[in-house]
């Protein structure tokens, strides 16, 4: 148990407090060394995780490059975009199409047959409070609290959608119309035009979807009388009429997809003048994907290579709290920059992944024609070893020619897989992805991961840090006991001197009598 009785040199005249501090400073050196070791391990752990984050971003890029879709982008063009515009998904069939548009698909619609309100009507105020502004206010006679009406529309397959609405007369006209428009199943867009004092209603679906009647059916006095909307006045929707590659087609919508290419009809074509649509491989997009990946690759391996080669200043150890107190903030910052540099210098995991990534590019891809199985055939080369294995597109035209003239070889060079998991048979992106994944797993075992959902970190460095924490705790307890023992010893000395002084004073008093 720690004693609270501490006498600081009252009898001896010694600076006991300073003496104990000096003794404890010497005794604390092993603890300070452990704390420095812990700091170094924490710095190394942080640096591993930072590199892991960099590799994760490179792995994501490598993952895209090992997908066939990256090398199968399509470019679609229309000879007359006023008639039809086109867009193609990756893997869309290449080819040429002809289109003649004789009729665009259109929505069904109906509008008020006359002026429904007089001057001064506010569509944002209660309809009941403004019933006198309506041309026909009979549905509002007697001041009803609610009104009911029904609207029926039809889906593209001819299925009817019927909705009955019950609205409060305390609602505004805009509020009621908004409620109708917000019903997605019904598929109606309706609004009030204050300039013409009319309501306009149309279906959000195009096409003639009710073969036996009107595409919009309306019942309810509020709609038919007050808003003057009537089924008899409904203009039916129209189907698009198209001649596609010489075949007559009927489409409910102005947008349709054929073989991965989406055609959007914009207008009717001139008679006898079909629009030509061409779908081709987009070589520029592939080239840009390769170039973008190489830029990202170079950026990240440069950072990793710099980390592996960064100078380690072993004479600069992490500062203790006492040392920091004796230095300025700038001095502490400069010292710690030296102290934490080179934490991963020569690290075998990082050197290993750099070597494997260089191998991924430099070794031929087995299974390809010998003329197209290595990077030089595509205008690519690596820099010197001192550059960390950076990649260069030394001949852009050669790469573009390969993309445009030998697309299958380019695709296999990057994406080819191996049934036997043989690296030599794998494409470049497959090799890179595997190498990066392996390095990330190794670093996670060493330093854990920021992405882990578990609060428990059982990585190698985390376990070493925990072990140091335990040893620090044990030594701190011993230091507390040691400091207490020093104080008890000095207190006993002070008490003994005090008693001696008292006896001496008593004797002097006796002799003086």
Q: Sorting pLDDT into bands at 50, 70 and 90, what band is 124?
A: very high
Q: Which of 19-33, 121-135, 456-470 has the lowest mean pLDDT?
A: 19-33
More confident residue, 90 or 162: 162
What tens digit of pLDDT does each residue of 41-99 get?
A: 999 999 999 999 999 999 999 999 999 999 999 999 999 999 999 999 988 999 999 99
The whole-angstrom separation of Cα 36 and Cα 317 is 7
Contacts of 19 (CB under 8 A, 6+ apart): 490
Contacts of 308 (CB under 8 A, 6+ apart): 344, 345, 346, 347, 350, 351, 354
CB 461 within 8 A of CB 45: yes
The CA distances from residue 181 to 15, 106, 113, 152, in Å, are 88, 18, 20, 13
What tens digit of pLDDT does each residue of 288-338 get?
A: 999 999 999 999 999 999 999 999 999 999 998 888 989 999 999 999 999
Predicted confidence at residue 452, as pLDDT, reads: 64
Predicted confidence at residue 3, as pLDDT, reads: 47
* CA 364 remoteness from chain centre: 35
The CA distances from residue 381 to 46, 302, 375, 390, 398, in Å, are 33, 16, 7, 9, 12
Residue 8 has pLDDT above 70, yes or no: no
What tens digit of pLDDT does each residue of 335-394 get?
A: 999 999 999 999 999 999 999 999 999 999 999 988 899 999 999 998 877 777 799 999
CB-based burial label for 386 (10 Å; 0-12, 13-18, 19+): exposed
Nearest to 224 by CA among 113, 131, 128, 129: 113
Enter the pTM of the model.
0.71
Q: Sorting pLDDT into bands at 50, 70 and 90, what band is 2?
A: very low
Mean pLDDT taken over the chain: 91
Q: Sorting pLDDT into bands at 50, 70 and 90, what band is 277?
A: very high
Predicted confidence at residue 136, as pLDDT, reads: 97
Domain ranges for the chain, please list them: 40-68+285-456, 74-104+240-281, 107-233
Predicted confidence at residue 25, as pLDDT, reads: 78
- 220 Rama class: left (phi>0) / alpha (psi -120 to 50) / beta: left
DSSP state of 160: E
Residue 253 has pLDDT above 70, yes or no: yes
Predicted confidence at residue 500, as pLDDT, reads: 83
Residue 474 has pLDDT above 60, yes or no: yes
DSSP state of 139: G
Predicted confidence at residue 11, as pLDDT, reads: 62
Order across the sheet with 261-265: list the strands. Answer: 84-88, 261-265, 255-258
């Amino acid at each position: 148990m720690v004693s609270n009785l501490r006498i600081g040199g009252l009898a001896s005249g010694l600076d006991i407090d300073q003496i104990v501090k000096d003794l404890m400073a010497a005794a604390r050196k092993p603890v300070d060394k452990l704390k420095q070791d812990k700091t170094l391990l924490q710095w190394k752990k942080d640096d591993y995780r930072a590199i892991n984050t960099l590799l994760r971003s490179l792995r994501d890029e490598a993952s895209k490059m090992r997908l066939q879709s990256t090398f199968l982008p399509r470019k679609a063009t229309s000879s007359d975009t006023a008639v039809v515009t086109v867009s193609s998904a990756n893997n869309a069939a290449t080819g040429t199409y002809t289109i003649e548009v004789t009729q665009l698909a259109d929505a069904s619609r109906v509008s008020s047959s006359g002026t429904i309100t007089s001057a001064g009507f506010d569509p944002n105020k209660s309809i009941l409070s403004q019933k006198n502004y309506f041309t026909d206010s009979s549905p509002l006679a007697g001041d009803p609290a609610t009104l009911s009406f029904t609207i029926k529309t039809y889906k593209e397959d001819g299925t009817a959608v019927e909705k009955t609405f019950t609205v409060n007369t305390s609602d505004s006209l805009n509020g009621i119309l908004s409620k109708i428009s917000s019903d997605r199943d019904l598929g109606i867009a309706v609004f009030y035009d204050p300039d013409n004092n009319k309501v306009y209603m149309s279906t959000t679906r195009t096409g003639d979807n009710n073969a036996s009647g009107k595409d919009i059916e309306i019942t309810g006095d509020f709609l038919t009388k007050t808003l003057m909307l009537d089924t008899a006045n409904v203009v039916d929707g129209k189907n698009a009429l198209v001649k596609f590659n010489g075949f007559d087609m009927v489409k409910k919508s102005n947008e349709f997809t054929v073989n991965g290419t989406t055609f959007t009809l914009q207008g009717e074509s001139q008679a006898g003048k079909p629009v030509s649509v061409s779908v081709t491989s987009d070589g520029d997009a592939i080239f840009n994907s390769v170039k973008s990946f190489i830029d990202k690759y170079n950026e990240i391996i440069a950072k990793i290579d710099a980390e592996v080669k960064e100078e380690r200043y072993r004479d600069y150890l992490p500062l203790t709290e006492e040392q920091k107190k004796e230095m300025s903030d700038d001095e502490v910052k400069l010292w710690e920059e030296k102290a934490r540099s080179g934490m991963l210098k020569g690290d075998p995991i990082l050197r290993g992944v750099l070597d494997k990534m260089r191998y991924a590019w430099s070794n031929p891809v087995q299974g390809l024609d010998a003329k197209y199985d290595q990077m030089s055939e595509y205008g690519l080369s690596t820099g010197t070893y001192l550059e960390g294995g950076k990649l260069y597109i030394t001949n852009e035209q050669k790469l573009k020619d390969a993309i445009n003239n030998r697309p299958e070889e380019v695709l296999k060079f990057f994406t080819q897989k191996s049934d036997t998991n043989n690296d030599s048979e794998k494409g470049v992106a497959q090799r890179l992805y595997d190498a990066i994944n392996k390095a990330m797993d190794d670093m996670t075992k060493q330093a854990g991961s920021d992405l882990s959902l578990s609060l428990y970190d059982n990585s190698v460095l985390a376990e070493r840090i925990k072990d140091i924490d335990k040893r620090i705790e044990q030594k701190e307890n011993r230091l507390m006991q040691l400091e207490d023992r020093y104080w008890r010893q000095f207190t006993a000395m002070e008490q003994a001197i005090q008693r001696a002084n008292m006896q001496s004073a008593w004797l002097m008093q006796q002799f003086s009598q």
